[in-house]
Chains A and B, each alone.
Chain A
Amino acid sequence: MRLFWNITLGGVAEGMIFASVALGLVLIFRATNVINFAQGAMAMLTTFIAFSVFGKGVGYWPAFVVALACGLFLGGLVQLVLIRPVQNKPPLNAVIVTFGLLILLEGLAGAVWGNSNRGFPAAFSQSGLVIGHTAIAFSHFDIFIVVAVLVLVVLVAALFRFTTLGLRMRAAAFAPEAARLLGVKVSWLLTLGWSFAAVAGALAGLLVAPTSVFSPTFMDLILVYAFTAAVIGGLDSPVGAVIGGLVTGLALAYVGGYLGGALEPIGALVMLIVVLMIRPEGLFARPTARRV
């Protein structure tokens, strides 16, 4: 039984990380109808920048803030420079552009920081908590992961539900032409959507890096899992992204815990196939039809 709870707790922490990357994918997909395959690579870059800042001896939190700020900037820059020119072209063009960016960023990071595996600092202790006299596989850092992603999710939900900025962003995503006729500056909001998505990614990078080997490709597998999570959630539902992230995290934890860690990627692909066969629109997609 203890094994089960330990695996479950680990799955929750992992799932929250997938949720934050999936949230980034969803924010971009519903705003611009593009799957951003460079989402992980962009997070990798901001995490490496944080790594360099941290190396200057400024402490963890300034590096943390720098990574999020770089995400904000990088997301907007990518949308303006790379995505906007292909926005009204066939959707495949944008997909290829994001793939190209993935390769470019990983190559660039390799050239600047090297391809060796490094260690990335964690904000809090990573040794398991002790409850009573039993050590469990859930650390202070895992608590931080869960709290940080929950804060992100609440902020995104509040943005969309309670602010006029969120209202305009939703309008820009749902009905760009109608939104423009109501004075909404759609193109600017799409840029902002990419920025917010990249911040979600940057947060994920900071949360993943201490728990895995830290190299220019460290987000690749996370992106595959997050993509699974986003598809389960329906690709354009922020709530779905979070629940999809948790489902994916738990499922992979059980596969890894009971069947062996090497099977995790296969487990993700099986889930992806099953969801696409049974409910291709995902669990939380909007009811209205839409081109994919």
Chain B
Amino acid sequence: MLEVSELSVSFGAVSALKGVSLQARTGSITAVLGANGAGKTTLLRAISGLVKAHAGSVRYDKHELVGMSVERIVRAGVSHVPEGGSVIAEMTVAENLQLGAVWRYGRRERQRRIGEIYEIFPALATRAKQHASTLSGGERQMLAIGRALVSRPSLLLLDEPSLGLAPLVTAGLMAVLADLSKGGEITTVLVEQNARSALSIASWAVVLNLGTVVVSDSADAVAGDADLRHHFLGF
């Protein structure tokens, strides 16, 4: 269970998050929705330690994440895929995947885990020796997610995985995320502007606007609320 309470982050005079509270249930997908500038990305960056929160707390699995270093938060089982995936273009696909597991596994276990990732994303296996710079947008996103999964995280933070992808590729990606979540071992927080496809696989949804939580409800309820959709989700 991820429990964010009264989390506040500001950049100089601008507050990006103003006392945000939310929960993500173990083994489920929680969608975080909202317009540009709502604070979605900042929320993920505060959870993974990339930005410092000035108030509030983030409890995960007996850890208080606020104040912990990024590297220690990773070791607590949190994998954050930032916007755009940030695959390392200068490295091959296989090297990117290795990097995701180096802190956790020795050589043999690492190869085994990478083999499992290739089963989830077969397109990556055929490009193992290619530089990540040669991948398409969809393949890059698969690599970024695969790389985050190699270390078997228990909490997966995804920032706009569908950004810039064709609808068909997005649908494929969402199906994989839904599949991953079925085992019940991985808690996913999915930040999306593409609210429709996020709601199709999420069980819970949190809508942010200007750094505060507007609604926190089941995905079905949010998807069924025409007013909410019209005002905050744009569909």
Contact = CB atoms under 8 A, between A and B. Distances in A.
A associates with B: yes
Interface of A: 164, 167-168, 170-171, 174-175, 177-185, 286-288
Interface residues of B, number: 27
B104 A183 contact: yes
A108 B204 CA distance: 65
Contact of A168 (B50, B87, B99): B99
B75 interface: yes
B95 A167 contact: yes
A181 B103 contact: no
A184 B73 CA distance: 11
B98 A181 contact: no
A177 B86 contact: yes
Nearest to A286: B90
B102 interface: yes
Residue among A177, A182, A183 with most chain B CB within 10 A: A182
B133 A288 contact: yes
Nearest to B50: A177
Nearest to A181: B80
B88 A184 contact: no
Nearest to A180: B70
A185 B148 CA distance: 16
A7 B175 CA distance: 67
A181 B86 CA distance: 10
Contacts of B99: 167-168, 171, 179, 182, 184
A288 B86 contact: no
A167 B90 contact: no
A287 B134 CA distance: 12
B90 A170 contact: yes
Contacts of B133: 287-288
A163 to B, nearest CB: 10
B91 A171 contact: yes
20 contacts: A167-B98, A167-B99, A170-B90, A171-B99, A174-B91, A177-B50, A177-B82, A178-B86, A178-B87, A181-B70, A181-B80, A182-B102, A182-B151, A183-B71, A183-B103, A183-B104, A184-B71, A184-B99, A184-B102, A286-B90
B100 interface: yes
B74 interface: yes
A243 to B, nearest CB: 19
B71 A185 contact: yes
B57 interface: no
A176 to B, nearest CB: 10
Contacts of B226: none
A181 B48 contact: yes
A175 B74 contact: no
Given A167-B99, A181-B48, A287-B133, 18 more contacts: A167-B91, A167-B102, A170-B90, A170-B91, A174-B90, A175-B86, A177-B86, A178-B82, A182-B99, A182-B100, A182-B148, A182-B151, A183-B102, A183-B104, A183-B151, A184-B103, A288-B89, A288-B133
Nearest to A168: B102
Contacts of B80: 181
A183 B89 contact: no
B40 interface: no
A180 B133 CA distance: 20
Interface in B21-51: 48, 50
Nearest to B133: A288
A88 to B, nearest CB: 14
Interface in B41-91: 48, 50, 70-71, 74-75, 79-82, 86-91
A180 B90 contact: no
A180 B71 contact: yes
A181 B88 contact: no
A166 to B, nearest CB: 10
B70 A171 contact: no
B85 to A, nearest CB: 9
